[in-house]
């Protein structure tokens, strides 16, 4: 038995003040956004600077949209389920499968008077909440294109379509595992747009060498992403849909944005990179001065960077930003400007376009008339598109290079409290991650009952914290600059390990780290990233990253139990309870902290 006189006096835990997480994070995240923008500006300063990195940035964007590797181009199985006959155009009601049994509903507008093949436009919709699909709220754009000699395919976005798919998982339902999966609904929407291009290119009425893309709001985002990845789009016109991450963070625009507006930014791109990937193809964008979704400083900086790049390509006439004195709204003026842009750069004509239109009733434009296919995978595609991966043999290396490379680059100054034995010699080191908001009295009781011996250098890491009510905004803002609150917390813990090992009384061969709940997961990953940690104490750890901690992209490589097994032959110690997911070698239960030492 360990004598009571050898117990360490427990130090008081840190107190997390209301709003401390946001207060701590805002300067940090803005600094990171500024660094990201600065790097982007250097890369996009000239074509000579941009071209050597263009292919890499495209591959990275593809990965951040969850499209790596590209999904198989399976049969589209197109169903044309009726048509409408108008004076000078027709409207086909159709569905196709972008993935097996993932049904995309759309309307194809075709001009009747065609002497030869016609240019085509993919129109991607914003978030118009109508049960017949967003395509019915944007039909005026399809009519305008068809009346001016274009084929126009208006594609429903996921969720706001005839068949439900979850579109607002993080925004509305706090499904933070989407970030751990590296999943964004933008990936599905972009793949749907790419398959829509496949379909248009195969239509006999369409000139496949003349395909453009446009859309507003969420449709603008899909235009940016798709045009950046697919060179078949010869002309792009995203309307009200771009900024910089720095401007977004300063205005906290994530409060109003849907999840599809962003890739999972683990490669730390700026939005200006999307423009660079489209250049020097013709690119028109438009914004409203009163639009609180896309701040004026953001699109102004974007315009500055892209104007300079297009000048470098000697194509200044191919880039334009139209600014109107409105909020986040469509208008006949912008519809006409987009048509003129496509006339000039896709059709090669100058004219006054025909702008009048007559909408059909929404129900007339549906493909399935309210009876979608029973075998549709649309409602669960967010679980299927990026499934949880089985860990690889080289998992610890992959974690360092693919998930935590940025976290390992920078470690802050930790907020720690340390207690060392008074006697001479070297002793094991024990780092405990103080849970957010933990009662100091409870912490004290825990360690007293655990009977820590006197021969331990004990450190408490009071890592970066947050309040529960602010977590959604914090994690969404952090994702924009390639991190998460838990990743920042992990960086604090790694810095604390550095400090512990610098203490002259620490025996570097015996370093134990412990945590409770989500912090147990953080302790586990600290050990995965720092081989100097010999033992991990897990107190009620989560069984899966679906319950946290959230690290961008981690579930593409492993779940928590896979990481735990990869730490062998180092030891994991479970206090109180070991879940079935953690059964296996090198995982044993203990009921006294003293047994670690």
Retrieve residue 421's tokens.
């034995």
Rounded mean pLDDT, 174-190: 96
Q: Determine which of 17-26, 357-366, 564-573, 581-590 has the lowest per-residue pLDDT on average.
A: 17-26
Question: What percentage of the chain exceeds 70 in pLDDT?
Answer: 90
What totals of helices (H) and strands (E) does the chain contain, helices first? 19, 16
What pLDDT, on the 0 to 100 scale, is given for residue 438?
A: 76
What pLDDT, on the 0 to 100 scale, is given for residue 94?
A: 98
Q: Is the pLDDT of residue 250 over 50?
A: yes
DSSP annotation of 481: T
Q: What is the pLDDT of residues 416-425, one digit of tens each?
A: 677 788 888 8
Are 414 and 492 a contacting pair, CB within 8 Å? yes
**Residue for token pair 């006339």:** 343
What pLDDT, on the 0 to 100 scale, is given for residue 469?
A: 79
Question: What percentage of the chain exceeds 90 in pLDDT?
Answer: 77
- DSSP conformation letters of 460-473: EE------GGGHHH
Q: What is the pLDDT of residues 535-558, one digit of tens each?
A: 999 999 999 999 999 999 999 999
Average model confidence (pLDDT) for the chain? 90
Interatomic CA distance for residues 567 and 556, integer angstroms: 18
Are 67 and 187 a contacting pair, CB within 8 Å? yes
Q: What is the pLDDT of residues 260-295, one digit of tens each?
A: 999 999 999 999 999 999 999 999 999 999 999 999
What pLDDT, on the 0 to 100 scale, is given for residue 422?
A: 80
What pLDDT, on the 0 to 100 scale, is given for residue 437?
A: 78
Q: Please name which of 431, 426, 399 lies closest in space to residue 495, comparing C-alpha atoms.
A: 431
DSSP annotation of 260: G
What pLDDT, on the 0 to 100 scale, is given for residue 19?
A: 37
Interatomic CA distance for residues 572 and 513, integer angstroms: 10
What pLDDT, on the 0 to 100 scale, is given for residue 586?
A: 57
Burial class of residue 87 in the structure, from the number of CB atoms within 10 Å of its CB (0-12 exposed, 13-18 middle, 19+ buried): exposed
Q: What is the pLDDT of residues 21-80, one digit of tens each?
A: 556 678 889 999 999 999 999 999 999 999 999 999 999 999 999 999 999 999 999 999
Q: What is the pLDDT of residues 290-320, one digit of tens each?
A: 999 999 999 999 999 999 999 999 999 999 9
For the chain, list the domains and their CATH numbers: 59-369 (3.40.50.1820), 416-596 (3.40.50.1820)
What pLDDT, on the 0 to 100 scale, is given for residue 513?
A: 94
Q: Name the range with the highest mean pLDDT among 127-136, 187-196, 398-407, 461-470.
A: 187-196
Q: What is the value of pTM for the model shown?
A: 0.93
Q: What is the pLDDT of residues 419-455, one digit of tens each?
A: 788 888 898 999 989 888 777 667 666 666 555 666 7
Q: What are the backbone dihedrals phi and psi of residue 535, each rounded to the nearest 5 degrees, phi first?
A: -140, 150
What pLDDT, on the 0 to 100 scale, is given for residue 377?
A: 97
Is residue 189 very low, low, confident or very high in pLDDT (cuts 50, 70, 90)? very high
Q: What is the pLDDT of residues 94-115, one digit of tens each?
A: 999 999 999 999 999 999 999 9
Question: Do the strands 151-155 and 506-516 form a parallel or antiparallel pair, or are they unpaired?
Answer: unpaired
Are 185 and 165 a contacting pair, CB within 8 Å? yes
């Amino acid at each position: 038995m360990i004598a009571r006189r050898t117990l360490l006096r427990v130090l008081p835990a840190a107190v997390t003040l209301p709003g401390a997480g946001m207060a701590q994070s805002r300067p940090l995240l803005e600094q990171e956004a500024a660094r990201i923008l600065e790097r982007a500006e250097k890369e996009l300063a000239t074509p000579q600077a941009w071209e050597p990195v263009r292919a890499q940035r495209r591959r990275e964007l593809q990965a951040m949209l969850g499209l790596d590797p590209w999904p198989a181009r399976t049969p589209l199985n197109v169903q044309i389920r009726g048509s409408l006959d108008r004076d000078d155009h027709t409207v086909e009601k159709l569905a196709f499968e972008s993935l097996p049994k993932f049904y995309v509903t759309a309307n194809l507008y075709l001009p009747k008077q065609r002497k030869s093949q016609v240019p085509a436009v993919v129109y991607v919709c914003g978030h118009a909440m109508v049960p017949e699909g967003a395509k019915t709220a944007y039909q005026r754009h399809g009519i305008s294109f068809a009346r001016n000699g274009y084929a126009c395919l208006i594609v429903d976005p996921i969720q706001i379509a005839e068949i439900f798919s979850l579109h607002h998982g993080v925004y509305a339902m706090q499904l933070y595992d989407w970030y751990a999966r590296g999943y964004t609904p933008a990936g599905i929407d972009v793949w749907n747009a790419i398959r829509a291009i496949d379909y248009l290119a195969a239509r006999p009425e369409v000139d496949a060498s003349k395909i453009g893309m446009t859309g507003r709001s969420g449709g603008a985002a899909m235009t940016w992403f798709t045009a950046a990845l697919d060179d078949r789009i010869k002309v792009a016109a995203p309307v009200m849909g771009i900024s910089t991450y720095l401007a977004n963070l300063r205005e906290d625009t994530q409060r109003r944005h849907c999840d599809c507006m962003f890739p999972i930014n683990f490669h730390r791109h700026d939005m200006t990179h999307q423009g660079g990937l489209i250049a020097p193809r013709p690119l028109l964008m438009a914004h409203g001065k009163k639009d609180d979704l896309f701040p004026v400083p953001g699109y102004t900086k974007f315009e500055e960077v892209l104007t300079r790049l297009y000048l470098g390509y000697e194509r200044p006439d191919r880039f334009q930003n139209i600014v109107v004195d409105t909020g986040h709204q469509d208008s006949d003026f912008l519809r006409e400007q987009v048509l003129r842009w496509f006339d000039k750069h896709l059709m090669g004509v100058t004219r006054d376009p025909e702008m009048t239109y007559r909408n059909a009733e929404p129900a007339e434009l549906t493909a399935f008339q309210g009876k979608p296919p029973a075998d549709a995978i649309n409602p669960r595609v967010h679980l299927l598109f990026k499934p949880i991966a089985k860990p690889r043999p080289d998992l610890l290396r992959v974690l360092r290079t693919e998930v935590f490379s940025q976290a390992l680059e920078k470690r802050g100054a930790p907020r720690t409290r340390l207690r060392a034995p008074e006697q001479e010699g070297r002793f094991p080191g024990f780092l405990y991650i103080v849970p957010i908001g933990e009662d100091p009295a409870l912490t004290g009781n825990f360690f007293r009952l655990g009977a820590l011996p006197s021969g331990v250098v004990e450190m408490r890491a009071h890592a970066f914290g947050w309040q529960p009510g602010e977590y959604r905004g914090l994690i969404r803002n952090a994702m924009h600059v390639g991190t998460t609150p838990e990743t920042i917390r992990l960086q604090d813990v790694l810095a604390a390990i550095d400090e512990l090992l610098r203490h002259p009384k620490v025996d570097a061969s015996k370093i134990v780290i412990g945590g409770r709940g989500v912090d147990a997961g953080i302790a586990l990953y600290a050990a995965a990233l720092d081989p100097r940690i010999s033992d991990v104490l897990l107190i009620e750890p989560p069984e899966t990253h679906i319950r946290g901690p959230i690290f961008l992209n981690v579930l593409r490589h492993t779940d928590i139990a896979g990481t735990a097994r990869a730490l062998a032959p180092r030891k994991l110690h479970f206090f109180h309870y070991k879940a079935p997911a953690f059964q296996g070698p090198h995982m044993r239960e203990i009921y006294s902290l003293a047994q670690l030492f």
